[in-house]
A = this chain, B = another copy of it.
Amino acid sequence: MSTPLPPFPRGQEPSGAPVPLELTVGPAAPQLRADAARNRARLLEAATRLVEEHGVANVTMEAVAVAASVGKGTVFRRFGDRTGLLMALLDHTEQQFQAAFLSGPPPLGPGASPADRLHAFGCRVLREIHDRLDLYIAAEPDASRRFSSAPYRVRFTHVAMLLREAVPDADGVLLAQTLMGYLEPALIHHLTRQCGMPLERLESGWHDLVKRTTCPVSD
């Protein structure tokens, strides 16, 4: 329609919403051929090593390809683009986290009140991102995809669901986007690195925000 459009054939793109190739809850890997799977593993390993050796900012796609003894095209076919590769590096942690808030023990998982789950959720995300901030920043998709990536959608849907439960008569979608905005890597980076705020302050801020959001408004 407007965007230049699909870079590589990859899977089942053509139908409706662009299906992200991974990073979603559960494996759902579409049966890679043996050599492809091997190369994928090599690439992830190489990328991990390069990132911790030189810092994510200095890791180029070509360097990863070379380090994995693989052609550059292969990197792009497998991961789509740089963002895709970087997100794949966060996939394992992400899946664990998803499992934790979807079906783990309270207060993160089901069993606690929606508000309590929200409080726990935010703190967990804040710490998670804070611990691997550079990677999260670098893996941030560009503006037009920021809200469509699988991990974002899963988190967002979860927050929206909790919010609908906690404040049924509010616009849960908009409120959820607002809360999610507080958890953006770029903001966390700004506040902790550029403004020098301790993580604890961000956590208090989150608690306050949740309180204000879930308290019934006069109107």
Q: How far is the CA of A177 from the CA of B182 in the complex (A)?
A: 8
| Contact status of A177 and B187, CB under 8 A, knowing A211-B219, A212-B212, A215-B218 | yes
Q: Choose the segment among A24-32, A64-72, A81-89, A143-151 that binds chain B (4+ C-beta atoms closer than 8 Å).
A: A143-151
Partner of A208, one of B181, B184, B191, B217: B217
Question: Within the oligomer, what is the number of copies of this chain?
Answer: 2
Q: How far is the CA of A181 from the CA of B182 in the complex (A)?
A: 7
- Asked whether, in the complex, the Cβ of B178 is within 8 Å of the Cβ of A182, the reply is yes
- Asked whether, in the complex, the Cβ of A143 is within 8 Å of the Cβ of B182, the reply is no
A45-59 vs B, CB cutoff 8 Å, 1 = contact: the mask equals: 000000000000100
| Contact status of A171 and B205, CB under 8 A, knowing A178-B181, A181-B187 | yes
15 A–B contacts, CB within 8 A, in A order: A144-B186, A146-B186, A146-B190, A147-B187, A170-B208, A171-B205, A173-B195, A175-B205, A175-B209, A177-B182, A178-B178, A178-B205, A211-B218, A212-B212, A215-B215
CB distance from A125 to the nearest CB of B (A): 14
Residue of B nearest to A140 (CB): B143
Q: Quick check: is A202 within 8 A (CB to CB) of the other chain?
A: yes
7 new A-B contacts, CB < 8 A, other than A2-B57, A143-B186, A178-B209, are A140-B143, A146-B190, A147-B187, A174-B209, A175-B208, A181-B182, A215-B217
- Asked whether, in the complex, the Cβ of A185 is within 8 Å of the Cβ of B140, the reply is no
CB distance from A90 to the nearest CB of B (A): 15
- Asked whether, in the complex, the Cβ of A143 is within 8 Å of the Cβ of B185, the reply is yes
Interface residue total, chain A, C-beta cutoff 8 A: 40
- Asked whether, in the complex, the Cβ of B181 is within 8 Å of the Cβ of A184, the reply is yes
A189-204 vs B, CB cutoff 8 Å, 1 = contact: the mask equals: 1110011000001101
A177 contacts which chain B residues (CB < 8 A)? Answer: 182, 187, 191
Q: Quick check: is A44 within 8 A (CB to CB) of the other chain?
A: no
Residue of B nearest to A17 (CB): B194
A212 contacts which chain B residues (CB < 8 A)? Answer: 212-213, 215, 217
Q: Quick check: is A137 within 8 A (CB to CB) of the other chain?
A: yes
Q: How far is the CA of A185 from the CA of B148 in the complex (A)?
A: 15
Residue of B nearest to A4 (CB): B57
